[in-house]
Chain A
């Protein structure tokens, strides 16, 4: 009952005209960002954070806008998966399996409508899940002391590579790099400058927004240049269609099952949206694909990964909000967004900023509905965006990224640092070193060191405190499991995910 009252307060926050307008704007912009080739949800949200910051929106409003962007981008990404067989991000890979064949059969409109509806249901169920489980986990997390938190951060880094991680050593290496970058600047405890090279600009440390926009946006441009499919424009059309509600109702079972599977996958550490959509698809295939139509344009093959992936995205918010530990790339970017507003997620968030938490949850409900309302009639327009040529798009990405960062600090030095991060990010991506752990390291480094310091202060310098409680032990075992498991079962998952390698579209 308590929850319900809080939720009502949340709706009070979210339903002001300003916030409703921002949600609509966010969903619209997000869908555009997602639909544009080469810009995934993480990139899109990353580029827009500096703007939300410089516009000095109140935290709840900024959150509402950016989560709508995030939801919108996830949906927009499906447009290119279905129409062009080009997944906008990793979780969208499973959608191409049945979505693209449907489009080839002239049923692109239906596929997009199914995707919108099942995403909606998945997102809705996940938001209910968040509503139920997040307060419970937040209460439980109050038992965490500094030692437990330190181990929890270790757990976050060993599992961030995910179950399908190719090379665990590379994700650990990336995490170490990110954490190292976070140590640049004045040591908060002693005031000792560390790794500042005596540059005044570095005394405050590297601004994580500068790093994120550089790593994502600038490296994307370099990648694009290298692949140099410049000047190529694809013609895209969406057929006229009417939603056949009868057909849609046939998908109810698939959508509901997949939403639950996805939500659970999202809550677990190291799983995230990719695994959510993968598991949802595989389970549905086992359960209902009696005629072997999955993979050749079965509507259920579109509904399952879409519901699973959106539910997983909602599920991933549970550990992010209650523990402050994101489990995937996009939640890491959402964490960056919260931190840029001086809000540190964790169990105390629910007590200190209830307006933010419940406003956000209410915003998720509203964003979800906005998207559905926006997308069903406008899908033809969004599909046209796939035809925006890269020589227009990529310079815009560069300029908006640079100006966004410039508007925060008005310092050309930050722009140089950002470009350096872009080049570094390109190198790392070429070497198949994942970028998300780097970002997570930059975000969490200071908190991690801080908790270690407090744990040691309490125990008078005895390092045994790090495995001094049963909870610590459980977390260590999970961390170790997350580190070792991909070596054994990762191969199996990777083969399964990569097996239906999308053929080159004709």
Chain B
């Protein structure tokens, strides 16, 4: 079933992708290929392979249960927040928070996770910012 849904989605993507290519302006230069031909080719390949999946799907995939899915969702949200808040919070604070939550969700006790967070954060900061001289955002700590 997963393969069928995926195939249908990819068929849709192929259609939208190729449809969008229609609007590309070939410009005034004489170019036999133009900006739209290569996308048409790719759209066709995707459509054919997607149709095959619709007709002959593989054995169904094993999806994680709801609890695991929520866990993974949480991790993705944490990573997105890290990306978004890295510059404002600064590397050290953002990394302590993120590693602590990740480690905790991966099975460490909250205490171990916090120590890991502090350790990883300081170690990576030392390695990157001081040893390798790749400046990391200072953020809140820099504004003190």
* A192 with B25: CB separation less than 8 A: yes
For A54, the closest partner residue in chain B by CB is B134
Per-residue B-contact encoding for A357-374, CB less than 8 Å = 1, 0 else: 000000000000000000
Chain B residues with CB under 8 A of A400: 124
Q: Tell me whether A225 and B68 are in contact in the complex, defined as CB-CB below 8 angstroms, given that A190-B25, A190-B29, A412-B87 are known contacts.
A: yes
Interface hub of B17, B42, B108 (most chain A Cβ within 10 A): B42
- The smallest C-beta distance from B32 to any residue of chain A, in angstroms, reads 3
Q: Let me know if B87 and A449 touch, CB within 8 A.
A: no
Partner of A399, one of B3, B53, B98: B98
User: When A173-B10, A225-B72 are in contact, do A395 and B38 touch as well, CB less than 8 Å?
Assistant: no
Bound-state Cα–Cα, A452 to B31, Å? 11
Which residue of A195, A221, A226 is within 8 Å of B20 (Cβ)?
A: A195
Extra inter-chain contacts (20) besides given A407-B136, A449-B38, A457-B33, CB under 8 Å:
A166-B58, A170-B58, A173-B45, A179-B42, A180-B46, A183-B38, A187-B24, A225-B72, A228-B71, A231-B107, A231-B108, A394-B106, A412-B86, A416-B83, A419-B79, A419-B80, A419-B83, A431-B2, A448-B38, A453-B31
List the A residue with the shortest CB-CB distance to B82.
Answer: A402
CA distance A55 to B132 in the complex (A): 7
* Contact, CB under 8 Å: A391 / B103: yes
CB-CB nearest in chain B for A462: B32
Partner of A432, one of B26, B39, B58: B58
Using known A-B contacts A190-B35, A457-B32, determine if residue A402 contacts B45 with beta carbons closer than 8 Å. no
The answer to whether B32 and A430 touch across the interface, beta carbons within 8 angstroms, is no
Binding site for B on A (CB under 8 A): 51, 54-55, 166-167, 169-170, 172-173, 175-177, 179-180, 183, 187, 189-192, 194-195, 218, 221-222, 224-226, 228, 230-231, 389-392, 394-396, 398-400, 402-403, 406-407, 412, 415-416, 418-419, 422-423, 426, 430-432, 448-449, 452-453, 456-457, 460-461
A-B contact count (CB 8 A): 180
Complex Cα spacing A179 to B39, Å: 9
Residues of A within 8 A of B103 (CB): 391-392, 395
Assess the B99–A169 pair: CB atoms within 8 A.
Answer: no
Q: What B residues does A228 contact at CB under 8 A?
A: 68, 71, 107
- Judged by a CB distance under 8 angstroms, whether B126 is at the interface is no
Q: Are A221 and B75 in contact (CB under 8 A)?
A: yes
Q: Is the CB of B106 within 8 A of A226?
A: no
Across-interface contacts of A187 in B (CB, < 8 A) = 24, 35
For the complex, what is the distance from the CA of A432 to the CA of B3, rounded to whole Å?
10
Q: Considering the chains assembled together, what is the distance between the CA atoms of A313 and B17 in angstroms? A: 37
- The docked-state distance in angstroms from the alpha carbon of A121 to that of B57 is 44
Which B residues are in CB contact (< 8 Å) with A422?
76, 79
Asked if residues B102 and A394 are in contact (CB atoms below 8 Å), the reply is yes
Chain B residues with CB under 8 A of A395: 98-99, 102-103, 106, 116-117, 120
Q: What separation, in Å, do the CA atoms of A399 and B132 have in the docked complex?
A: 16
Closest to B38 in A: A449
Q: Is B134's CB under 8 angstroms from A55's CB?
A: yes
Beta-carbon contact of B39 and A183 below 8 Å: yes
Give me 24 A-to-B residue pairs in the complex whose CB atoms sit less than 8 angstroms apart, sorted by A's number: A55-B132, A173-B49, A190-B25, A190-B26, A190-B27, A192-B26, A192-B35, A195-B20, A222-B75, A225-B71, A225-B75, A228-B71, A231-B107, A231-B108, A394-B102, A395-B99, A395-B102, A398-B79, A399-B120, A416-B83, A426-B72, A430-B61, A453-B31, A457-B32
